[in-house]
Chain A
Amino acid sequence: MTATTASALAAGLGPDGLSLKASLARAERRSRLVSFALVAPLLLFIVASFCIPLGFMLYRAIDNPEVAETLPATVAAMKGWTQGGVPDEPVFAALAADLIAAQKARTTGLVGKRVNYEIPGARSKFLKVGRELERAPAGGPWKPVFEKSDPQWTDPVFWSALKRIGQPMTAFYLLSAVDLRLDQTGALTRQVPDQAIFLDVLFRTLWISLLVTVSTLVLGYPIAHLLASLPPRHANLLMLLVLLPFTTSILVRTTAWVVLLQTNGVLNDVMVWLGLLDERIQLIYNRFGTVLAMTHIQLPFTVLPIYSVMKGISPAHMRAARSLGAGPVYAFTRVYMPQTLPGVGAGCLLTFILSLGYYITPALVGGPLDQMISYFVALYTNRELNWGQASALGAVLLAVTMVFYAIFNRLVGIDKVKLG
Chain B
Amino acid sequence: MSKTTIRTAALALAALTLGAGSALAQDLTITSWGGAYQKSQDEAYFKPYTAKTKIKITQEEYNGEISKIRAMVESGKTTWDAIDVDAATAQQGCDEGILLPIDYSKFGGKDKFVKGSTFECAVPTIIYSTIYAYDADKIKDGPKTIADLFDTKKWPGKRALQKTPFGNLEFALMADGVPVDKVYEVLKTKEGVDRAFKKLDTVKKDVVWWEAGAQPPQLLASGEVVMATAWNGRIFGANKTDKRNFKIVWDGQLQDWDLWAIPKGVKSLDATYAFLQFASSPEQQAEQTKYISYGPALAAATPHIAPDILKDLPTAPENAKTALANDPVFWGDNGEELRKRFNTWLAQ
Verify whether A and B have any Cβ pair under 8 Å.
yes
Determine the chain B residues whose CB is within 8 A of the CB of A200 once the complex forms: 344, 347
| With contact pairs A110-B97, A263-B224, A264-B223 given, residues A201 and B347 touching in the complex (Cβ less than 8 Å) | yes
Give the distance to chain A from B265, nearest Cβ to Cβ, in Å.
13
Segment among A120-128, A229-237, A401-409 that sits at the interface with chain B = A120-128
Cβ of A262 < 8 Å from any Cβ of B?
yes
Q: Which of A116, A264, A384 is the one whose CB lies under 8 Å from B339? A: A384
| With contact pairs A124-B333, A384-B336, A385-B96 given, residues A264 and B346 touching in the complex (Cβ less than 8 Å) | no
Chain B residues 35-54 with CB under 8 Å of chain A are: none
Interface size for B (C-beta < 8 A) is: 33
Cβ of A339 < 8 Å from any Cβ of B?
no
Cα A371 to Cα B208 in complex, Å, equals 14
Q: Which has the most chain A C-beta neighbours within 10 Å: B223, B332, B334? A: B332
Determine the chain A residues whose CB is within 8 A of the CB of B345 once the complex forms: 194
Cβ of A109 < 8 Å from any Cβ of B?
yes
Cβ of A197 < 8 Å from any Cβ of B?
yes
Chain B residues 320-348 with CB under 8 Å of chain A are: 329, 332-337, 339-341, 343-347
Cβ of A285 < 8 Å from any Cβ of B?
yes
Segment among B15-23, B63-71, B146-154 that sits at the interface with chain A = B63-71
Cβ of A308 < 8 Å from any Cβ of B?
no
Cβ of B268 < 8 Å from any Cβ of A?
no
Cα A120 to Cα B188 in complex, Å, equals 11
Contact A195 B222 (CB under 8 A): no
Contact with A along B158-179 (1 / 0, CB 8 A): 0000010000000000000000
Give the distance to chain B from A69, nearest Cβ to Cβ, in Å.
13
Contact A109 B97 (CB under 8 A): yes
Cα A371 to Cα B344 in complex, Å, equals 11
Cβ of B137 < 8 Å from any Cβ of A?
no
Give the distance to chain B from A285, nearest Cβ to Cβ, in Å.
6
Q: Is the interface of A mostly helix, strand, loop or mixed?
A: helix
Cα A200 to Cα B333 in complex, Å, equals 26
Determine the chain B residues whose CB is within 8 A of the CB of A347 once the complex forms: none
Cβ of B209 < 8 Å from any Cβ of A?
yes
Contact A112 B95 (CB under 8 A): yes
Segment among A20-28, A89-97, A319-327, A361-369 that sits at the interface with chain B = A361-369
Interface residues on A, range: 35 or more
Determine the chain A residues whose CB is within 8 A of the CB of B343 once the complex forms: 197, 368, 371, 376, 379
Cα A110 to Cα B65 in complex, Å, equals 18
Determine the chain A residues whose CB is within 8 A of the CB of B341 once the complex forms: 194-195
Chain A residues 95-122 with CB under 8 Å of chain B are: 105-110, 112-113, 116-117, 120-122
Give the distance to chain B from A143, nearest Cβ to Cβ, in Å.
24
Determine the chain B residues whose CB is within 8 A of the CB of A107 once the complex forms: 97
Contact A109 B95 (CB under 8 A): yes
Cα A194 to Cα B209 in complex, Å, equals 20
Contact B208 A123 (CB under 8 A): no
Contact B332 A123 (CB under 8 A): yes
Q: Which of A110, A121, A285, A376 is the one whose CB lies under 8 Å from B334? A: A121
Contact with B along A295-323 (1 / 0, CB 8 A): 00000000000000000000000000000
Give the distance to chain A from B172, nearest Cβ to Cβ, in Å.
15
Cβ of B79 < 8 Å from any Cβ of A?
no
Contact A121 B70 (CB under 8 A): no
Q: Which residues of A contact B (CB under 8 A)?
A: 105-110, 112-113, 116-117, 120-124, 127, 193-197, 200-201, 204, 262-264, 285, 363, 367-369, 371, 376, 379, 381-386
